[in-house]
Structure 1
Amino acid sequence: MRLLLLVLLGLGLNPASAAKLGVVQTEGGLVEGRSFSTGLFSSVEVFKGVPFADVPGKWEKPKPHPGWSGILKATKYRDRCLQVTLLQTKTRGSEDCLYLNIFVPHELSVSTSLPVMVYLFGGAFLLGASNDLAILGDSLYDGKEMADRGGVIVVTVNYRVGTLGFLSTGDSRLPGNYGLWDQHAAISWVRRNIRGFGGNPDNLTIFGQSAGAASVSFQMLSPYSKGLFRRAITQGGVALSPWALQKNPMALTKKIARKVGCWRTDEDEMLTCLKMSDPVGLTMAGKIDILLILGKGVVMDMLELSPVVDGDFLPDEPSNLFHNAAQFDYLAGTNSMDGHIFAGVDVPSINSKKANTTAEQVKGLLTGLTKEKGDAAVPSAFSVYSVHWGLAPDPAIVKKTVADIETDFLFLVPTQIALQLHANNSSGAGTYSYLFNMKTRIPGFPRWVEAEHAEDLQYLFGKPFSTPLVYFPRHRDLSRYMIAYWTNFAKTGDPNRGGSRVPVPWPVFTKTHQPYLIINDEMSKSSVSYDLRAYYVRYWTETYSHLPPA
């Protein structure tokens, strides 16, 4: 024991200085981060605010950064991209926002050739940042725990959102997808530069949640991604989600032009005016008018600014582009109540202790969701979702049905279709499906509410370890499981193999065999199930999709 102490003292073991990259050469210049001790022999070196592109021109693709002289002290997060605040009352952020953050784990020696995981944040393509706040502690997307526990480099990136990221005329004048081009520029920068940070540029995984998950899906489908990364994970969103693609971009551009005083009958004059308009005013013009929507339609209709089929980054409808994703290993799933938060806006009674939810309200919701098919869809969808109610349905069952409808329509069914298309097109790449159903930690919701939209992220990013006082041991178990599956997958393409122990083997999803893993804190052999919500998936993909348009 004494000898061990002498050895440790002889090593001068300050863990923060035990292994450290120090100054790293990138294509733009030298950067230096900060080291954080994570244990006796381990640390994570963090580089915040590293530029991956120049300040972007308005509605232009990102351009290479001109570089800098001296050593860039990469110790502070940079501004998020210009966007509306959560309450939509003002803007925050900057046009100078194309930066990323890198989390590198070390043990006794400096890391080399580690797998790399690049995270794309969610926020309806309208808001969000690579360092979005957690309620307590570090940024929600702080990568230290995941990097340290999973033995991977985690990178979080900014991209343009809202009007400046996704306004489009649907043609070459204002093609749109600027936020997707930013993501592509960030992933390309990582591939070119990550070796200097101890990463393996040939083992990149991109992952994201909500609009970030849809973004990952778009990156997989774009011909520009060939050979750029190896694997992809989507959590609660895919390119096929009904909110992920603008169908009529010119109408929205005209609406925004009206709001900023640029309405002209001549479209080219209107666009010239828009290009000269104040970025803050343009950003505010893209906000969601929540008061106009309450009780009059569905939340989905508010999510207007999103990617478009531009004939370039996305040359065709997403469902026709899965041949481009054939080489990527793919892991995808949803939370069991991804749609609950949206359902609570569309049908507020579902979260009320006093009010019941009526069959008419359920039909009203279906009318709003299925308007592209007209009135014909409502009776058929209603009969599918009310079949298990019985003659005198329990009010809680009716309320949960509303959440299930929105979860299926907005998240779960599109994800199941994406998994199927990936498996059908795959050339040797693996496909994996999951359902995350841990009970919600959000107080005040009814007892039947399980995993809310985005509730998976706290576990994936290790919050039960970094802020232990607000979690129980079961939450740490779940966090350990998720980090193990996700980082194993990043290392090998197989969530079961990669050095981290997992509680249950996760079977592969194929053309003919559709297992999925149920992820929560009580995982056992019975956590593997088959044909996720097949009755409802079949309704939306076969019966509903074959109804004639309105």
Structure 2
Amino acid sequence: MLYALLCALCVCAVHAHQHKHQTEPAEVKPAAPLTHSVSGTFRGSWMETRRGRRFQAYRGIRYAEPPVGALRFQPPKLKLQYEGVVDASEEGPACPLPAPPTYYVAEDCLTVNVYTPILNSTKPLPVIFFIHPGGFYAMTGRSDLAGPHYLLDRDVVLVTINYRIGSLGFMSTGDAYAPGNNGMKDQVAALKWVQRNIAAFGGDPNLVTITGCSAGSISVILHMISPMAKGLFHRGIAMSASPVSKEVEAITHQRHLAVRQAQILNCPTENSSVIVDCLMTKPWKELGDSLPKFWEFGEGDPVGLWGPVVEPDFGQERYLPINPLVAIKEGKMHTVPLIVSQTTDEFFWKAFPVLQNETLLKTMNEEWERVAPISFILPKKNRGAAVQKLKEVYLKGKKLTNDKQSEKALGQLYGDSVVGFGVHRLANLMCRHSKHPVWYSEFAYIGNNSHYEDSHGKPQGAAHHDDLLYLFTLSYRFPVISLDSKHSHVVDEMTALWYNFARYGDPNPRGDTPELGKLSWPAMTAADRRYLHRGQQLEVRQNMFEDRYKIWDDLYPIQY
């Protein structure tokens, strides 16, 4: 079961034959494309979209100096100049994480992939910058997890990135030894690289849309608050996660995770100095592979481990100097037009490993007061009341059993607590306090594939990450959606919405995206909380799941 969970959250479903040097199927192609930017010359490769459009791919380009040796646990150093011709024809490594032995992983992983169509246009193209999901501890921006073959049928330049994850990217001890947020500073360095270089790849540095799912969604919102990211982007798409949720107090460190990492690798834990010094000597693979040892219940709870923190001032450049909730409510942010979304069934699949394992089921039932705060990521404040109220509302006060009723109840509780309520809170805050319009949407479409499929390979809902299936090719696990598939129209509609938004800061059609028909998707306001429901069709609805989220608003009240 542990292996299965890593498949869902990491890249462990990657086929064993994938190596560093895997490329597109061999065929006769013209000479490799070359691009000259102010920083250097890059040799790329050719790829083809699902509609047969050829485009240029530049992969594995270092955007920062390798974060190895003395630079481990340090902020990134932006790469300004390259010697000779940079070979950007093959995929770079994933940042350290649990993966099969054949998968390309390395600590020297701060790379960017750039995909650009072949156009004779003199007009620069909008740039879509994608920040991968994975809980700040898994997944990558490599093309097997964020493939360009759908979006590059549109006239956009796509950029995907790797950033440091887990302890290597987010260790925060609450003092100057590890202030935190290096993974977020990596993302900022990549955005600066784009500003400096993207014009050479046909992209418009003044038209950058930052997009992200899950951990990437949290990142998108925090970039609107961080002084380090100001001016580096112009629109945002935040899918399935929020930095504002149940916890209203600012988190300034995650020292407990630094101590746990030290314990796992047999390091002393008396103070930050000895923790950092010892971890500096450990092989990156041991750090990356240690993820499963952080879980406290079953194989995957809590879902939330490392993350960005509000950095105390130790004289360093601070990525996040203010509580995100305060920043949003007081307008201390550089907002841009924003799309916020979630899927209908977010983390519903988390119910199955619990209900189908007698030991876990017994433990959750008998030790609900201990386990619920771990599994549903509940703040310390008001915890006793919350644990009881959630059992009463979601489980009707009953014990869990391995049946359909418990599956639905526990699945919904996981989904609402891990993702849904936070996204609801984010949309309602941003539509009140942003200087720009905010569009809200629900992804409810169920196709042939899903990130949760039953034992017969059949999707059971619109799960966490499932919207990505229609925006990117995820060849590590899923087939390409062919043009003759009955689900092909969803790819066309999803990419059309992103294309319009990247160009205009408004997802609605302007005439050259006929697949959207006469869609009229209104921006959300406090008084008129309409949203786009992406089910079998595109339709506008009102007040997404607000009856369910009222319990959470009552347990964790704020003034919106």
In the alignment, structure 1 residue 145 sits paired with structure 2 residue 146: no
How far the C-alpha of 1:130 sits from its partner, in A, is 1.2
Q: How does 1:269-418 map to 2 (within 5 A)?
A: 269-289=274-294, 293-294=297-298, 299-301=300-302, 303-311=304-312, 312-322=318-328, 323-348=331-356, 366=372, 368=374, 369=376, 370=378, 372=380, 373-385=382-394, 395-418=403-426
**1:500 counterpart (513, 520, 523):** 513
1:361 positional shift = 9.4
- Structure 2 residue 441 is matched with structure 1 residue 434: yes
Larger deviation, residues 370-379 vs 92-101:
370-379
Distance 1:434 1:294, change over 3 A: same
Structure number with the bigger relative contact order (C-alpha 8 A, sep ≥ 6) is: 2
SS of the equivalent of 1:100 reads strand
Give the alignment's TM-score, normalised by structure 1.
0.82
Secondary structure at the counterpart of residue 321 of structure 1? helix
Equivalent in the alignment of 2:86: 72
- Give runs of aligned pairs for residues 134-173 of structure 1, distance below 5 A: 139-148=144-153, 150-173=154-177
Deviation, structure 1 residue 448: 9.2
Deviations 1:480-535 (A, max 9, x none): 11111112111111111353231432211112211111113x215xx211111112
Matched, 1:82 2:88: no
1:221 corresponds to which residue?
A: 225
Q: CA deviation at 1:306?
A: 2.0
The 10-residue stretch of structure 1 (301-310 or 56-65) with the greater mean CA deviation from structure 2: 301-310
Question: How much has 1:326 moved relative to structure 2?
Answer: 4.9
The correspondence for 1:186, drawn from 190, 193, 205, is 190
Tell me, what secondary structure is at the counterpart of 2:212?
Answer: strand
Conservation of the 8 A alpha-carbon contact between 1:115 and 1:204: yes
Matches within 5 A, 1:533-544: 533-541=545-553, 543-544=554-555
Deviation larger for 468-477 or 227-236 = 468-477
Q: What's the counterpart of residue 10 of structure 2?
A: none
Partner Cα distance (2:304, 2:493) in 1: 33
1:58 lines up with 2:72 in the alignment: yes
Which residue does the alignment assign to 1:254?
259
Could you tell me whether the CA contact under 8 Å between 2:48 and 2:149 is conserved in 1?
Answer: no
Q: How far did 1:206 drift?
A: 0.7
User: Alpha carbons of 1:243 and 1:152: their partners in 2 closer, same or farther (altered >3 Å)?
Assistant: farther
1:48 aligns with 2:48: no
Q: Secondary structure at the match of 2:486?
A: helix
Question: How much does 1:301 deviate?
Answer: 2.5
- For residues 350 and 52 of structure 2, the distance between their equivalents in structure 1, rounded to whole angstroms, comes to 45
Between the aligned partners of 1:471 and 1:358, the Cα distance in structure 2 is: 45
Give 1:267 deviation, angstroms: 3.9
Q: Deviations over 1:462-497 (max 9, x none)?
A: 679x95577963310111111111121111111113
Question: What amino acid sits opposite 2:390 in the alignment?
Answer: A
> Which residue is equivalent to 1:101?
113
User: How far off its partner does 1:431 sit?
Assistant: 0.4
Equivalent AA in structure 2 for residue 94 of structure 1 = A
Residue 398 (structure 1) shift: 3.6
Instruction: Report the Cα offset of residue 44 of structure 1.
Output: 1.3
Residue type of the partner of 1:505? S
2:441 aligned partner, one-letter code? Y
SS at match of 1:205: strand
Contact preservation (8 Å) 1:103, 1:144: no
Q: Which has the higher helix share?
A: 1
Q: Deviations over 1:215-272 (max 9, x none)?
A: 2222222122221101111111122256999675112212222232321534433433
C-alpha displacement at 1:425, in angstroms?
1.4
TM-score, structure 2 normalization: 0.80
Equivalent position amino acid for 1:490 in 2:
A
Amino acid paired to 1:217: I
Among residues 478, 503, 515, which one is paired with 1:491 in the alignment?
A: 503
Which has more radius of gyration? Answer: 1
Cα 1:189–1:217, aligned 2, differ >3 Å: closer, same or farther? same
* Letter of the 1:315 counterpart: P
1:419-443 Cα shifts (integer Å, max 9, x gaps):
122111121x120111111226354
**1:326–1:384 distance in 2 versus 1, CA, 3 Å:** farther
1:522-537 matches, cutoff 5 A: 522-524=536-538, 527-537=539-549
- Which residue in 2 is equivalent to 1:461? 472
Out of 175-184 and 263-272, give the one that drifted further: 263-272
Contact 1:116 1:204 in 2 (8 A): yes
Cα distance between partner residues in 1 of 2:190 and 2:402:
50
Match of 2:215 among 203, 211, 228: 211
Counterpart position of 2:430: 422
Counterpart Cα distance in 2 of 1:31 and 1:112: 21
Indicate if the aligned counterparts of 2:61 and 2:88 stay in contact, CA closer than 8 A.
yes
Cα offset, 1:380, TM superposition:
2.6
| Among candidates 29, 47, 51, match of residue 40 of structure 2 | 29
Cα displacement (A) at 1:536: 2.0
Query: Relative to 1, partners in 2 of residues 1:380 and 1:203: Cα closer, same or farther, differing over 3 Å?
Result: same
In 1: Cα distance, 2:373 partner to 2:282 partner: 38
Amino acid at match of 1:485: L
The AA in structure 2 aligned to 1:211 is A
- Judged with a 3 Å threshold, the aligned counterparts in structure 2 of structure 1 residues 360 and 281 are, in CA distance, closer, same or farther, namely closer
Offset of residue 35 of structure 1: 3.0
SS across alignment from 2:426: helix
For residue 371 of structure 1, report the CA deviation from its aligned partner. 6.4
Tell me the distance in 2 between the aligned counterparts of 1:448 and 1:196: 42
Q: C-alpha distance in 2, partners of 1:396/1:363?
A: 23
Query: Which whole-Å CA distance do the structure 2 matches of 1:39 and 1:380 have between them?
Result: 49
1:21–1:480 CA distance, 2 compared to 1 (3 A): same
- Alpha-carbon offset, residue 367 of structure 1: 5.5
Q: Which SS does the other structure have where 1:494 is aligned? A: coil
* Unmatched tracts of structure 2, length 5 or more: 1-27, 313-317
Rounded Cα–Cα distance in structure 2 between residues aligned with 1:459 and 1:397? 30
Work out whether residues 39 and 197 of structure 2, in 8 Å CA contact, stay in contact via their aligned partners in 1: no
Tell me how many residue pairs correspond in the alignment. Answer: 506
Name the residue aligned to 2:525.
510
How far did 1:336 drift?
1.0
Q: AA paired with 1:255?
A: R
For 1:444, the equivalent position in structure 2 comes to 454
1:222–1:324 CA contact under 8 A, matched in 2: no
Kindly, what percent of the aligned residue pairs are identical?
24
1:176, CA displacement in angstroms?
1.3
Pick from 255, 265, 274: which aligns with 2:270? 265
Give the AA of the match of 2:508.
N
